[in-house]
Structures are given as structure tokens and as C-alpha cells.
Amino acid sequence: MTELLARQQSPATARVMVVWCPDWPVIAAMVEEGLPAQLPIAVVAHNQVFACSQAARTEGVRRGMRRRDAAASCPDLVLVDHNPDRDLRVFEDILSVVEEVSPGVAPIRPGLCALGVPSRYYGGEPQAAAVIAERLVSSGVWDCRIGIADGIFAAEQAARRAAPQDSCIIEPGGSAGFLSGLSIGVLEDAEMVSLLKRLGLRSLGDFAGLAPRDVLTRFGRDGAWHHRLARGLDNRSAAGRTPPPELDAYVDFSPPLEVMEPIVFSVRQTAERFVAELARLGLVSTTVRIEIVGDGSWNGSRRWAHPRWFGASDLVDRVHWQLQADPPPEPVTGVRLVPESVESMADQGEGLWGSAPDERIDRGVARLQSMLGHEAVLSPSLQGGRNPKDRQVGTPWGERADRLRRRRLPWPGSIPPPAPTRVFAEPRKAMVLGAEGQPVGVTPRGMVTTEPALFKTQESAELLRIEAWAGPWPIDELWWDPAHARQVARFQVVGIDGSAWLLVVEDNQWWAEAQYA
């Protein structure tokens, strides 16, 4: 993140507000993964807990624990890999919310930002903090804490001691007194903290009591800087970030249009201008939201993704498909193009050896979609599930599969690898018999009634001898829903001819679900 907290030569005179959102990596993961807030969640980095939710801490999970120990402390713990880019993406939305209240927000790190106190506009510092907390809570950030002091360091420490959705305000000139009682461990330089503790300095007040010249001689410039922080002489200013450029494009129809063809034709110039403006900034859009505005209260919105990046013709095609799939019930007054995901043009460019996707393939598939319909051309994705059919999901070409079941979750009863190469759209009838020709079944305790010896599928004209088999893997699916509950057991079977099958038995009827190569 760009450094926005520049050191100045003279002490800061303006008051500073710091907004802190605890457990931010957990909040970011909950937002992007769609996880409920009441679940115990831990974000893991380098096989250790990097951050955890309050529900996880209640079960004994702590930051720094090993993954295995954390899972042992809380069997229901949901583990999510740490993603710094995800933390930044989600925090951008929070910065935008704070900027609606007061411009000039300086992000320090994901979950922590500083800004000047808009006390005069809102009638005082407590009132300004209350307005920002209210905006954050309405945006879904329930645990936000605000600190106000003469400097950023003191304001951050005050925010860390505030109650959820509340503020801690240090009176002007009181930062040194407030900081003096804090532990020396609040300094972020671990090596410096360790050295000061070995010298017997346990609090910021002990450190602040040393002579500045002695500190500079013994600890150098970094030590002198931390010494100024301990004395409440933080002279950094909350310099606001550069606001992002306005990239939306809108075309207005006056009078409103009712026929689809004129709407699509009128959008073309706006789409070309939209793509050209992104190119001028060195950007391309990979995800676009298209909003179609009606003459009354109707508003149609859909999010579109592209396997590479959107050109003007791609946007026109999406507007056409959206109008076909969801015809407006009233005349259209305008169309808005909103880039939800933008990337650097250099990252999306073709490599030296032609590593980028072939544009001709994209255009050919797009042509098929225009002829057959957007939902007629699908690309496969893999998700979590117990049987091979449930693990497959088809997504319209050009869109990204959203809300997939996570593959890393435990799936009791799922088949072990390798995965089958051919999964039947509908299970096919099969037969499994014992050595004496008796039917093979599975008891309620998950045991076979007799060892499988012969089997037959629709592909085989006669019974084949079983060379090897594995299973059963019993599954009691949806037991809480009597209308859809299933009790099945799966087997892997290899015939004497070398064919391998995934078979399932349900209510004493055998089925072939998939075939291995």
C-alpha cells in the first residue's frame, strides 16, 4: 500500500481520528466467502492462525496456534487461507464509506485508517465518531472502534481500548499521559521491544523518561522515532489518498426507447468510449455490471465476467443478451456500464510466446452464444461434494463461477482419488452378485451381506467377474429432510476385463454412476 503517513518537521496541530476494525482478515474472508458471522473462523498463514473470530476465541483458538492445534480446540472451526489481496479489496469498500463522511482518509493497513476529525461539521468529536460508527455498522462492519488524539499513534492506541461501536477520546495535550501507562509491547518493532524489555523498560512512560540524546546515541534514528511516539510527539499527518477515477459510463435515452435493436445500437458509442477511457489509464475490465434503467421504478442489473477482458463489441453483446433474458417491462431511459473488476493492461497482454488466450476462440464462442443463447455454452468448474455429479457445475462461457462449495471442506462419504473420467448424466442400472449368485447388499451398519464377485452394467452383455473392489462408503444424506433423504453406499469395482466403475447401491438397487479410464 502506498505510504500516506508522511513525517513532518513541525508537530501536528490538527486532531487525528483512527478507525480500527478488529479481526479484519476474518471479516474480509466472511464477505468474499459468504460465511455466516456466527461461525468460528480462523484465517491461516504459514500453517499458523493469523486471525480468528470471536466465536473461535471462545472455543480456545488463539492467534499463533498451529493449524492442527486450532482444529483440535474447535472441531467446527472453518479454516481459510490468508489472502492479503482480499483484505485490501474488501477494505476499499470501507474506505469509501468513511470518505462519504469525511474526505482525506489515509489507509494505514487493512482494517485500520486515519483521518482528520470533522468535529466542527458534526458538532463535536464524539458526534463525528458516532456518525462514522453508524455508517460502518450499516455497511455490515459490526465491530468498529474509534480513537481520537493529537497524533496517529496515540489515536490508534485509544481505538484499541475503545468498546465496539464506541470511541475513546484523548483530550488535547493528553497523549503523553495516556501513553505513559501502556506496555512497551504496543510498539510494532519486535526487535526494539525485546531490547527495551531486557533493559528493564516495561512501559512507554519508562522509555519516554530517557533523554532524547541518549536514545539517539544508543538506538539510532529508529529508536529516536519510537521515543518520540512514546512521548506523544507523533508528527505524522493523515494525508488523504487520491480518489479513484470515475470509470462508469452512462447513455441516456430521451425520449425512452421500447424496442431492443435501437437500445443496443445506441449503446455502441458509449461502450467504445468506456473501453477507450480504461485503455487511457492502462486498464482493462474483466467484470462489468450492466444496469438498464426503466422509465418508472424498474431497474435491471446483471454482473458479467469475461475470460480475458471486455472490448466494445463484447459489451454490446452483453447488453443484447441481458435485454433478451430479462425484457424491460417499461421503456428504457438509460444504460449504465460499471467496471467491477479492473486489471492492468500489461497483466492481460499477450506474452512473448503467445501465452494469452486466443482472441479468435473468445470471439468464436461469443458468436455461438449469440446464436444459441447465453446459457447454451457452458464451461465446467469443480466444487466440493460427495459424488462426482454434485462436484460438477456448468457456468455460462465468460462468467466466473460464484458461490461454489469449497473443495477443502470435509466431505464424509466422498470417494477417494483418483477421480472418475466419465460421469454419467443419469445413473445407469447395474447388478452386483456374490460367488453363488446371491444379491449383494449393505447392512444398516455399513457392512456388505456377502463379498462381491460378479457384476453387470448396461455396457456389458453378460456378468463379469470382479477382479478387485473397494468400499462400501455409506452416506446418510439429508436425513433432516424426509422428502429428500437418501441412504446409499458407494463401491469402486474393477472387472476382469480391466474396466473400472463407481457403483452405488440404494434400496437394494445397484447403479453405475461413473467409469474410470
Query: How many angstroms separate the CA atoms of 25 and 43, rounded?
Result: 7
Question: Over the stretch 34-56, which tens digit does the pLDDT of each residue have?
Answer: 888 888 999 999 889 999 998 99
Is pLDDT at 381 greater than 80 in this prediction?
A: no
Give phi and psi for 187, each to the nearest 5.
-65, 140
Q: Which CATH class is domain 249-348?
A: alpha beta
DSSP code, position 38: T
Query: How many angstroms separate the CA atoms of 19 and 259, rounded?
Result: 50
Q: What percent of the chain has pLDDT over 90?
A: 32
Average pLDDT over residues 493-517: 88
Strands 41-45 and 78-81: parallel
Question: Over the stretch 390-434, which tens digit does the pLDDT of each residue have?
Answer: 777 777 776 666 667 776 666 766 777 777 888 888 888 999 999
Query: What is the pLDDT at residue 340?
Result: 85
Q: Which CATH class is domain 16-169?
A: alpha beta
- pTM as predicted: 0.50
Question: Over the stretch 208-228, which tens digit does the pLDDT of each residue have?
Answer: 999 999 999 988 888 999 999
- Is the bond preceding 255 in cis, omega lying within 30 degrees of 0? yes
| 396 beta partners | 378
Give phi and psi for 219, each to the nearest 5.
-115, -5
Average predicted confidence (pLDDT) for the chain: 84
Query: How many angstroms separate the CA atoms of 498 and 43, rounded?
Result: 45
Query: What is the pLDDT at residue 401?
Result: 67
Q: Which three cell numbers stand for residue 410?
A: 470435509
Bin 508: left if φ > 0, else alpha if -120 < ψ < 50, else beta: left
Q: Which three cell numbers stand for residue 98?
A: 468513511
Query: What is the pLDDT at residue 346?
Result: 65
Residue 440: other Cβ atoms inside 10 A = 24
Closest by alpha carbon to 387, among 412, 409, 426, 414? 414
Q: Give counts: helices (H), strands (E), the chain.
A: 15, 20
- Domain ranges (residues) in the chain: 16-169, 175-230, 249-348, 422-516
- Answer whether 16-169 and 175-230 agree in fold: no
CATH no., domain 175-230: 1.10.150.20
